[in-house]
A and B are shown apart, each in its own frame.
Chain A
Amino acid sequence: MVTNVYLPRPSRIVSVREEAQGIKTFTVRAPEGEPSWPRFAPGQFLEVTVFGVGEAPFSITSAPGSPGELELTVAAVGEVTEELHALAAGDVIGVRGPYGRGFPIGDMKGRRLLFVAGGIGLAPLRSLIGHVISERDDYGEISIYYGARNPSLLCFCEDLAAWESAPHIQVRVTVDSPDAAWQGPVGTVTSLLAKEGYEAGGATAFVCGPPVMIRHTLRVLLEMGFAPKDVITTLERRMECGVGKCGHCTVGKARVCVDGPVFSCAELLDLKEGL
């Protein structure tokens, strides 16, 4: 008998946190009957079923391992996500996964790390940042550039403050449209990074955000002297099955669900439709 890879396992929502305007973070307990989540890597995702509505993929936001609980950060932008936002602690969702290829953790040791995120694009990078901080001595200095359209859309503000106060971590946050209380930089995260400059030697860059932001940032990083193999991003595509069958999430010959969602810029340059 073949295991049914399409069968969601019931998992209970432990808590729900308002992350930013229209964005919530869900803490989800390991599937019923399982003591902990299957081991996952930062950058991997879950297929989440909102019973009676449908299924959609979400990257895991919390740090990796086999914890009893993990976090998913979700913007309400469609049918499944809006109904997910209507759920509360105690409600049950269905989960499949973790799926996909995560960040290349083995290649990062000893390097300086640059994270560039836009909006909810910080969600998958937060899992990686959490992992890196748990093994802080294995890495060089860390720089985190984060931007959102306006201050109400900034996610993980508590994490940003905690990272900023940690040693050898630089955090820069910018918004396109400031409100009266905003005192930080104004403009896109990519232009802030370009303006302030970054020494590419010995560094690996991680980029996640809206598609247009990713394309623009990759270009800027290459101009700064990063080798394409040292620029890593994670892609979002429409997915149905999550296991490489349905054909929806392809980028050239790559299926984002199994060959990604994490790709190096070098890999994307090799892929037709990659950039």
Chain B
Amino acid sequence: MKTIAKTKLIAFLEALSDDYRVVVPLQQGTEVEMGELDGGRLAVGYRGKTRFSAKECLFPESEVMLTFDNRGAGAVETTEHTPAEKTAVWGVRPCDLAGMATLDAVFLSPPVDTYYYARRANTLLLGLNCHEVGTSCFCRSFAAGPFASSGFDMIFTDVAERFLVESGSEVGARLLEQHGELFAEAGEADRQEAESLRLAAETAFTTTLDVPALLVALQEAFDDGVWEEQAKKCTLCGTCCIVCPTCHCFNVEDVRKTRKLFQRVRYWDSCQFTGFTRMAAENSRSTQGERWRQKIYDKFVYLPAVYDGLLGCTGCGRCLDLCQGNINIVQVLEKVSHGH
């Protein structure tokens, strides 16, 4: 275990920028958003979470997959846009690191998704433990936080004037060594301070979800009226999916660039949109209640059935913060678990 003075963090990140595009939490007005290191004021000691999840580093909101150049007479030249840029992301919260485990399961299980695979291989994940949890946070209910135990190259813990730093991969360990002049050896007092911060954070949650009870209750709740009832408040905006660290659905579209050039683009989609399952013959989920239920069942029933128990929720709480219809998903799910 090492430490780094907060005043030296920027030197470390700038050193990384020789080899990587560096993405960090930036203070944007009252919000903190992920952005490039030179794109604003680094939110060194930020509390809670960034407004959007860090999933965009691995699975961007939209990306060009292929370009088709129609040369005429049946000749089409196709160019693949496999991402090659190396990115280092500092300040990723444990809830988002846990979300990446779900993204990994979806995109890296055979057949491997080329674009995700390339980004994943080229991305350095530098996590930041939460010593102060937000009011909507409930990652503890999933053992996803407030401190991360895996899924990072390095993990930072905010301890007053400095960060405690541990490596979680060979690359992380090598970087610690390589930039040894910026780091100091951590002492027993540092360890104890981090441990007491973790214990304090773990007991500070005001939002909790009884996940085991929910998983049992959902086995019998498919035809419950609660889904249609909650869906009445849904504005179909899709924000819950956009901000979710595990939502991975995408749409693919061919976009004309010039008369002969077309780009195949994929972009985030949401199961909450009416068109998500629309076909020529019919729409297999025709009511918002069915779509709302789909979101819950996919995260807590279907994903774990397909991917060995992995859940599609990490308790980040962003969908509580940003729901346009002011639906508190945790309250709804607690009602499903413990009776209406």
Contacts and interface: CB of A to CB of B under 8 A. Distances in A.
Interface of A: 2-8, 10, 12, 49, 51-55, 75, 77-78, 90-92, 94, 210-212, 236-238, 240-241, 243-248, 250-253, 255, 272-273
B106 A245 contact: yes
B249 A5 contact: no
B114 A247 contact: no
A3 B115 CA distance: 10
A238 B256 CA distance: 22
Contact of B262 (A2, A51, A90): A51
Contacts of B251: 240, 246, 248
B78 A7 contact: yes
Interface string B265-307: 0100101000011111110110000100010011001100110
B111 A54 contact: no
Contacts of A272: 222, 297, 301
Nearest to B118: A2
Nearest to B115: A6
11 contacts: A2-B112, A7-B66, A49-B254, A51-B76, A92-B75, A94-B68, A237-B279, A246-B266, A246-B269, A247-B249, A247-B269
A127 to B, nearest CB: 20
A82 to B, nearest CB: 11
Contacts of A273: 284-285, 290, 294
A245 B113 contact: yes
A141 to B, nearest CB: 31
Given A54-B253, A238-B277, A247-B248, A91 B74 contact: yes
Given A245-B113, A248-B277, A237 B284 contact: yes
Contact of B306 (A2, A7, A246, A253): A253
Given A52-B70, A55-B252, A94-B76, A248 B276 contact: yes
Contacts of A75: 280
B239 interface: no
B20 interface: no
Interface in B185-238: 222
User: Which applies to chain B's interface (DSSP): helix, strand, loop or mixed?
Assistant: mixed
Interface in B69-86: 70, 74-76, 78, 80, 82
Q: What 4 A-B pairs are tightest by C-beta distance, nearest first? A: A247-B249, A92-B74, A77-B280, A253-B302
B250 interface: yes
Question: Looking at A6, A7, A92, which has the most chain B CB atoms within 10 Å of its CB?
Answer: A6
A250 B256 CA distance: 29
B271 A247 contact: yes
Contacts of B252: 54-55, 240-241, 246
Contact of A236 (B118, B249, B279, B290): B279
Contacts of B253: 54
B107 A4 contact: no
Contacts of B70: 51-52
B284 A4 contact: no
B285 to A, nearest CB: 8
Contacts of B249: 246-248
Contacts of B12: none
Contacts of B43: none
Q: How large is the interface on B (under 10, 10 to 19, 20 to 34, 35 or more residues)?
A: 35 or more
A52 B262 contact: yes
A248 B285 CA distance: 11
A209 B129 CA distance: 54
A4 B277 CA distance: 26
B52 interface: no
A272 to B, nearest CB: 5
A135 B121 CA distance: 49
Nearest to B256: A52
B16 interface: no
Interface in B128-146: none
A4 B248 contact: no
A54 B254 contact: yes
Contacts of B109: 244
B117 interface: yes
A10 to B, nearest CB: 6
Given A52-B254, A92-B74, A240-B250, 8 more contacts: A6-B264, A10-B74, A211-B282, A212-B282, A238-B278, A240-B266, A244-B109, A245-B248
Nearest to B218: A272
B44 interface: no
B74 A252 contact: no
B310 interface: no
Contacts of A55: 252, 254, 264
A12 B66 contact: no
A5 B74 contact: no
B65 interface: yes
B306 A52 contact: no
B111 A5 contact: yes
A91 B72 CA distance: 10
A7 B80 contact: yes
Nearest to B82: A4
Contacts of B111: 3, 5, 243
Given A238-B279, A240-B251, A253-B302, A248 B74 contact: no
A94 B75 CA distance: 11
Interface in B84-137: 106-107, 109, 111-115, 117-118
